[in-house]
Structure 1
Amino acid sequence: MSESEAGRGTTALVTGATSGIGRATVLKLREMGLEVLALGRNAAALAELKAECGATPIEADVRDMAAVTAQLGDRPVDILINNAGILSTRARFDEIDPVEIDAMIDINLKAPMHLTRVVLPGMVTRKHGHLIYLGSSGGRAPYPSMGAYGPSKAGLSLFCDNLRCDLLGTGIRVSEIVPGRVQTDLYRTALGAEAAKATLYDGYRAILPENIASLIATVISLPDFVDVSRLEVFPTDQATGGGSIVKFA
């Protein structure tokens, strides 16, 4: 992919890079010839990713911006893919642990905002860049037992809209990818790995991380005067509004 095809971007930073959508995206972007900085907390998984595709590992928690910026150094980031996110619990709001509220707001909303603030000045100076955020259908419609997760993703969505207003005329693109059910480890903490598999995926046709990675690659590859501002993608068998999903007969 030429620089013009990728909005002149050659270096991408992907958060939550060690599993699910993040890992699939790192592999896809490396296939496209981009230099990829893979940010995650799992040192072993980052090492495997480096060996597999040549991505540059950045071992850090997205909430620790000092550690992230120290490892980034003065490397320019042309494409930022804010993928890291958690759904640490599924509980009624009157039963949720306040610690979980903070965790979801910190990782799903505050971390992308702070990381954007780190890389954005360089993009503005260079007059090009692409900011990509992994939202959620849970941030666009109410779902049971998502009283903290949903608002964190809704806030991220509005942040994208505000960024577009602030960055108008800079040449920087802002894209939000909004998936429905994707077969990842997102629910692992809230439900447990086996329960999540049995409840959410067995017998269903969920979107795969590779599908989302392909969409991200397409959004990046469009000419730099074309910005996909928001892209919602659902399994064919899922409808919005309460998360209705059916098993395919």
Structure 2
Amino acid sequence: MMQALVTGATSGIGRAIALALHGAGYAVTAIGRDPVALDDLGRLGLHPLRLDLSDAEAVRNSLAGLAPDVLVNNAGMMPPLLPFDELDEADIDRAVSVNLTSALRVTRAIVPGMKARGGGHLFFTGSTAGHAPFAKLAVYCATKAAIGGFAQALRLDLAPHGLRVTEIVAGRVETGLYKDLLSPEAREAMYAGQSAVQPEDVAAMVLAALRLPKSVDVARFDILPTHQATVTGAQKKDD
């Protein structure tokens, strides 16, 4: 049975991808920190793994025995929506650790085995914020831009070994990313009128990329709401 490893698998895009891979026949190890959500995934037939990705030694030890054919680096968080100079240093450090360092750490642990086996597919959940500026999101933009640059350079490193790398560039997706940052009313307005991509849509794209011939690598896919006409979310105006 093919194996998959998904970080940030307890909610949103990560959970949808983990469940889609499970449904496609993969043995899925789902990494997260929420014990209740992990137990739920376990009841659904996935292999839950509670792991703090900021703990380098724990990551090395926990992943040492795994041999996934698919790695989805999805773990991420949104720092407070403030101008950069008003952010606490702790929030800056946490965003860099969760959004960037953890992906590098997990990838470093998994890639040698993929190379030795001569195959594998790595996905990185990026964002339109990594390719365009957004006010009050300087740190988030920086971490997602770094993920994009890393994924594309890694693809060149790994292509000679038969490994594929895909960057997921998501626009407005209806997840809990803003749960602690925006009021319920603000979130409702953001997602009104079916104006957001659903996590299951992103998962469907991941499966589509996996099903392509091994000779084809989707280096990056952008997935946006139909009405999100630009990466910044602005609507196109009629001429």
Q: TM-score range by the shorter chain?
A: over 0.9
Q: Residue 118 of structure 2 is aligned with which of 115, 122, 127? A: 127
State the number of aligned residues.
Answer: 236
Q: Structure 1 CA distance, aligned partners of 2:14 and 2:231?
A: 26
Aligned to 2:37: 45
- The letter for the 2-side match of 1:65 is A
Runs of 4+ aligned structure 1 residues displaced above 3 Å come to: none
Where in structure 1 are there 5+ consecutive unaligned residues? 4-9
State the alpha-carbon separation in 2 of the partners of residues 182 and 143 from structure 1: 16
The answer for the alignment partner of 1:167 in structure 2 is 158
Partner secondary structure for residue 191 of structure 1:
coil
Structure 2 length-normalised TM = 0.94
Instruction: Find the residue that maps to 1:190 and give its secondary structure.
Output: coil
Which residue of the partner structure matches residue 136 of structure 2? 145
Give the AA of the match of 2:212. L
Q: Deviations over 1:187-243 (max 9, x none)?
A: 113225x14423421345210001001111111111111110000111011122543
Q: 1:236 aligns with which of 223, 226, 230?
A: 226
Map of 1:72-87 to 2, 5 A cutoff? Answer: 72-87=63-78
Partner of residue 3, structure 2: 11
The 3-state SS of whatever aligns with 2:225 is coil
Distance 1:94 1:73 in 2: 40
For residue 18 of structure 2, the aligned residue among 26, 32, 35 is 26
Question: Helix, strand or coil for the counterpart of 1:226?
Answer: coil
Q: Contact 1:16/1:40 (CA < 8 Å) preserved in 2?
A: yes
- Is 1:198 the equivalent of 2:175? no
Partners of 1:124 and 1:172 within 8 A in 2? yes
Displacement of 1:128: 0.5
What is the deviation of 1:99?
1.4
> Aligned runs of 1:178-189 on 2, under 5 Å?
178-189=169-180
> How does the TM-score come out when normalised to structure 1?
0.90
State whether residues 144 and 242 of structure 1, in contact with CA within 8 Å, keep that contact through their aligned partners in structure 2.
no
State the distance in 2 between where 1:115 and 1:12 align.
13
Please name the residue that 2:197 is paired with. 207
Distance 1:188 1:245 in 2: 24
CA contact (8 A) 1:14 1:80 kept: yes
**Superposed displacement of residue 74, structure 1:** 1.5
Task: Say which structure, 1 or 2, has more relative contact order (CA 8 Å, 6+ apart).
Answer: 1
Q: Does 1:59 align with 2:50?
A: yes
Unpaired stretches in structure 2, ≥5 consecutive residues = none
> Matched residues in 2 for 1:121 and 1:114: separation?
12
